[in-house]
Amino acid sequence: MSQPIIKDINHVAIIMDGNGRWAEARGLERLEGHMRGARMVKKIVRASKTLGVKNLTLYAFSTENWNRSKKEVSGLMSLFRRYILAESADMLAEGVRMKFIGQRDQLDDKLVSLMNWIEDQTADNTALQLTIALNYGGRDELVRASRKMAVAVQEGQLRPEDITEETVSSFLDTAGTPDPDLVIRTSGEYRTSNFLPWQSSYAEYAFINESWPDFTVALYEQAISNFRARERRFGSVIGK
Ligand code: FPP
């Protein structure tokens, strides 16, 4: 068995792009691509544990994705429901904690109940935190956080002069989760698409040409080992 490449990478975030094109190139329905994508999710969750990744965040549905056809949107929602139901036992057995970020208000009640249920069930797990960004948009998250901060100021719980970067972070959906070290995007697009803009200010990016259904554990390991090989300076002088 190969040795884990790294034991201490704190947080990897992935933009799982290219499912639709993968399917269309094969004359299949776009949903078929998402279903293949869901299989890849399972493999990458398992590999993350082996590789010592402590937090994995996956961009599953953006605030912009509502513009897709009704059929594709409802197919994706049903896929998310099935994923939670099918994976709950393994997540419990493997110590995976599951969380969701994004707006829940617009999601259907059945899905929201399952999301709340799996978050509760896995709340004490510590081997890996799997965060799914569902109906998530980075700007939307910042707007919602700003509103919450404004209410806290209005109610006298927060003074404007006391607002720091840490305060802002604590009002985001990701409060309590460390910032991503590495953001991976598949399918050869060089965009960040409103994914964790505040949290990824110092992250490294890896752009992979393969579409998400064609992503592999080997490519994942490679991206992580490339990340380790690069020096991260955080804007300061090396060695300081
Ligand atoms: C982007 O590819 C992918 C999505 C909008 C959906 C991602 C969802 C999954 C991988 C399904 C399983 C997820 C979980 C968490 C169970 P795209 O459709 O935008 O690809 P395209 O750019 O080729 O059209």
- Predicted confidence (pLDDT) per residue in 9-68, tens digit: 899 999 999 999 999 999 999 999 999 999 999 999 999 999 999 999 999 999 999 999
State in Å: Cα 123 to ligand 1 middle. 26
The tens digit of pLDDT for each residue in 176-232 reads: 999 999 999 999 999 999 999 999 999 999 999 999 999 999 999 999 999 988 855
User: Under a CB-based contact definition with an 8 Å cutoff, are residues 64 and 137 in contact?
Assistant: yes
Q: What CATH architecture applies to the domain 11-137+179-228?
A: 3-Layer(aba) Sandwich (3.40)
Q: How far is CA 215 from CA 47, 134, 142, 185, 209, in A?
A: 12, 21, 31, 10, 9
pLDDT tens profile 106-160: 999 999 999 999 999 999 999 999 999 999 999 999 999 999 999 999 999 999 9
**Residues whose CB is less than 8 angstroms from the CB of residue 177 and which lie 6 or more positions away in sequence, other chains included:** 11, 55, 57, 99, 129, 131
Hunting for tokens 């009640």 — which residue is that? 109
Q: Tally Cβ neighbours within 10 Å of residue 4.
A: 14
Torsion of Cα atoms, 192 then 11 then 206 then 17, to 10°: -50
Find the 89 Cα to ligand 1 centroid distance in Å: 24
- Angle among Cα 19, 76, 24 to the nearest 5 degrees reads 30
- Give, for 55, the enclosing helix (H) or strand (E): strand 55-62
CA 238 to CA 100: how far, in whole Å? 36
Helix axes 70-93, 30-51, angle to 10 degrees: 20
Q: Which residues, judged by CB distance below 6 Å to any ligand atom, belong to the binding site of ligand 1?
A: 16-21, 34, 37-38, 41, 58, 60-61, 65, 79-80, 83, 132, 212
Provide the whole-model pTM: 0.94
Establish whether 194 is a catalytic residue. Answer: no
Q: Where are the domains of the chain?
A: 11-137+179-228
**Ligand 1 mutation pick, 22, 29, 31, 34, max ligand atoms within 8 A of CB:** 34
Report the distance separating Cα 70 and Cα 86, nearest Å: 24
Looking at the predicted structure, is the pLDDT value of residue 87 above 50? yes
